[in-house]
Copies of this chain bind each other. A is one copy, B any other.
């Protein structure tokens, strides 16, 4: 799979997934639902305030008459109800509507009523860059702020799971930094990168090939690595770029999308079902691709 069009086509082939939308009275979420229905990807279940959902859809000229609705009066109860639908098998995945990401994730990771899988929540983006020969996964652009070593391992595991769901058999993972040398005194993220690289070699992280620390230029280009005399098994063939923190991850993701001419999609991994985070600022094609990504990432 090398393009976002292939991603959407591949998701379409798996058949529609039922998508529980938490607080569905929001333009971006409803537009995404209609697009995903039309594309044969999703069967939305709109959880929220029915009158507001109808009003929002009406003002946008969206036909949502065929979608199931479930009443929930506020964002918290809508989140809990959407999560319940997934837990009892009435829905396959979640989508965020007019609710804070934190509120939705709180319901997702609730000890009793949630849909935890034992893993941590992390954001995984998949990008089609005109300057790279295959899909690139980028993590974590949105959830984990300053991950410690243990959290980074979970971030890697979630991204590997997502990449495998898209058919990448043994993803190559680069742990990004500004340099390739380990500098424990001045650049602690290089130590984490070295530790995670070695954890993979020791079998503590499976199903992927990890190397780091690597600067971005040497992760994406074997030629750059050769010139700089960096011997890395992932250089030039990297599938997953792991940022050291949320600022670097967010800037990388947004640079690719906003200045790099890339197409992108993003989901939250770590629960028993993937979660689509819609945003008013996302383009329609981004949201559709994100739903397709989630469809493929459903277990």
Within 8 A of B (CB), among A79-116: none
Q: Mark A227-261, 1 if CB is under 8 A from B, else 0.
A: 11000000000000001111111111011111111
Question: Assuming A187-B145, A260-B259, A260-B260, is B131 touching A254 (CB within 8 A)?
Answer: no
Within the complex, the shortest CB–CB distance from A231 to chain B, in Å, comes to 15
User: Once bound together, how far apart are the Cα atoms of A297 and B141, in whole Å?
Assistant: 35
Interface residues of A in 7-61 (CB under 8 A from B): none
Please state if B227 and A280 are interface contacts (CB–CB under 8 Å). yes
Against B, the Cβ 8 Å flags (1 = close, 0 = not) of A178-192 are: 100000001101000
Contact of A261 among B130, B176, B228 (CB under 8 A): B130
Alpha-carbon distance between A186 and B144 when the two chains are bound, in angstroms = 10
Let me know if A178 and B247 touch, CB within 8 A: yes
Residue of B nearest to A216 (CB): B254
Q: Are A281 and B129 in contact (CB under 8 A)?
A: no
Q: Which residues of B contact A78 (CB under 8 A)?
A: none
The answer on a CB contact under 8 Å between A176 and B259 is: no
Q: Which residues between 252 and 285 of chain A lie within 8 Å of chain B, taking CB atoms?
A: 252, 254-262, 280-281
Closest to A244 in B: B247
B130 A257 Cβ-Cβ under 8 A: no
Which one of B142, B146, B228, B256 lies within 8 Å of A260 (CB-CB)? B256
Does A251 lie within 8 Å of B216, measured CB to CB?
yes
Taking beta carbons and an 8 Å cutoff, which residues of A are in contact with B?
129-132, 141-142, 145-146, 176-178, 186-187, 189, 215-217, 220-221, 224, 227-228, 243-252, 254-262, 280-281
